[in-house]
Structure 1
Amino acid sequence: MDILIIIVGLFMIGIGFLVKSSPSLIAGYNTMPEDKKKNVDIVGLSTYMRNGLIIIGLSIVVGYYLFKWIGLTVIAESIIGIVILPGVAIVVISSQRFDKNKDKTKRAKLTYSFLGLVAVCVIGLFIYGYSPSKVDISSDRIKFSGIYGFEMNVSDIDHVELSEDLPEIKMRTNGFSSGAVRKGFFKLDKFGKSRLLIHSNRLPYLIITKNNSEKIIVNFKSETETEKLFGYITALIDNK
């Protein structure tokens, strides 16, 4: 079960129930003067937003597994952005019909500011996910920065190799995946749960096996960069 998909789906559903139980949290409504709040159908608005956000949350989870099941993995792995951006836009814009005030200028500005914030967050996540991981190597430690980055001791490495093949990726358990980019934890055929920092489809793949049998698979957009990292790690292992 993909943890990220479940978390995001449940988060949207939770927000839906929250705005129904506490309508004062709805952007724009909580800053309205009391005389204008009287012209807002807050029961209808909070119910509509609850239902819309619940549908968005369920669509993320169901859509992910549906597209994954029929083999459209690229769409499945991008389902969060595909559903949230248009989904939230539709809910927020269409919810304005519950506001009977004649002057909606301020409300409209808040609405579009909220949509802009959501868009920035989603786009920012994808930009961060696609950003190349940087490697910092010292005599006894290797550090990968960026999304799902980590550190490891050189003494923890049992074996390192370059491979032209990658076992089939069965499932993403906790990570970022879009197109060829896969970062985080994935379940692989033969390897089981493994940590990936894959930036492209470019061969080869650098496979690091730790003393506890955990597999770490890394590659970059440049074949030379992957091979260079292999050389650095091999030298460190030979000298440990």
Structure 2
Amino acid sequence: MDILNLIVGLFMIGIGFLVKSAPELIAGYNTMPKDKKKNVDIEGLSTFMRNGLIIIGLSIIIGYYLFKWIGFTMIANSMILIVTLVGVTILVINAQKFDKNKTKKSKLTYFILGLVFLFVIGVITYGFIPSKTIYDNDTIRFSGMYGFDISIGEIDNVELSNELPTIKMRTNGFSFGNIKKGFFKLDKFGKSRLLIHSDLFPYLIMTKNNGDKIIINFKDKIETEKTFNKIKTMIDK
């Protein structure tokens, strides 16, 4: 997570300097007809966008380490999402003051922002929905975001562990507080698939025939243990 926040933060800062030197990259302005571009204070807009994106980038980096240092891990791990959503919303709304064209696009802008906001909330809500384990003959299905199917024949070993290897970075997944779903790079294990619903052990670790690791746990440790026992029984048949 440290690396991801740093990369995203530096990327935002870089984009900030880029839009100042190349205003044509600013969405909305780059598609305007020439007669309407004349009514846009592009010097002020590009400066505003540069400063705003730099602030967003620095907030992601500093906010992550600050909240992690004071112990608010959930907020720290959500800095990219929170800062980007709030920051971009503020940028889009305030950028309107640099456009002197008499249009009705403000309502459209707010409508689009509303849709984006609802989409983000929807993704977060979907990510919080607990995965369910479904057993179908020799196949096990885990539902929900980043759910998957796996056949018993693909599993080389299954075990319970009270420790989760250190997560180095997210490669393709959902991360919000203690919830981790998708693919992450772990210390010792490398790239692994996670369906983590809490920070409570035990963790169910499945090792596939090709060496890939799948780590799962639920909010209720009893459910994690029951899932382990069921899969172990299916393997030992």
Q: TM-score, normalised by structure 1?
A: 0.74
Distance 1:140 1:225 in 2: 20
CA shift for structure 1 position 31: 7.0
Structure 2 residue aligned with 1:20: 23
Structure 1 residue aligned with 2:234: 236
Deviations 1:179-213 (A, max 9, x none): 22122334555555433211124443322223344
Equivalences for residues 45-124 of structure 1 within 5 A = 45-57=45-57, 59-61=59-61, 63-64=63-64, 67-68=67-68, 72-101=72-101, 106-124=104-122
- Indicate if the aligned counterparts of 2:170 and 2:184 stay in contact, CA closer than 8 A: yes
Distance 1:156 1:92 in 2: 49
Deviations 1:123-157 (A, max 9, x none): 22211221222334333333333333333332222
- Select between 46-55 and 107-116 the one with higher mean Cα deviation: 46-55
CA shift for structure 1 position 65: 5.2
- Indicate if the aligned counterparts of 2:167 and 2:185 stay in contact, CA closer than 8 A: yes
Structure 2 residue aligned with 1:177: 175
Summarize the Cα distance change of 1:185–1:205 in structure 2 as closer, same or farther, 3 Å threshold.
same
- Indicate if the aligned counterparts of 1:183 and 1:196 stay in contact, CA closer than 8 A: yes
Summarize the Cα distance change of 1:180–1:187 in structure 2 as closer, same or farther, 3 Å threshold.
same
Q: TM-score, normalised by structure 2?
A: 0.75
Equivalences for residues 199-238 of structure 1 within 5 A = 199-238=197-236
Aligned-partner residue type, residue 148 of structure 2? F
Q: Which one of 134, 137, 140 corresponds to residue 138 of structure 2?
A: 140
Aligned-partner residue type, residue 166 of structure 1? E
SS at match of 1:91: helix
**Structure 2 unaligned spans of 5+:** none
Deviations 1:84-124 (A, max 9, x none): 122112212222221335x56x2321232232233223222
Aligned-partner residue type, residue 182 of structure 2? G
Summarize the Cα distance change of 1:214–1:2 in structure 2 as closer, same or farther, 3 Å threshold.
farther
% same residue: 60
CA shift for structure 1 position 5: 4.6
Distance 2:142 2:23 in 1: 43
- Indicate if the aligned counterparts of 1:142 and 1:153 stay in contact, CA closer than 8 A: yes
Summarize the Cα distance change of 1:37–1:110 in structure 2 as closer, same or farther, 3 Å threshold.
farther
SS at match of 2:169: strand
Distance 1:67 1:140 in 2: 45
**Structure 1 unaligned spans of 5+:** none
- Indicate if the aligned counterparts of 2:178 and 2:197 stay in contact, CA closer than 8 A: yes
- Select between 228-237 and 190-199 the one with higher mean Cα deviation: 190-199
For the aligned residue pairs, the C-alpha RMSD in angstroms reads 3.6
Aligned-partner residue type, residue 40 of structure 1? V
Summarize the Cα distance change of 1:61–1:122 in structure 2 as closer, same or farther, 3 Å threshold.
farther
SS at match of 1:100: coil
Equivalences for residues 157-168 of structure 1 within 5 A = 157-163=155-161, 165-168=162-165
Distance 2:79 2:116 in 1: 15
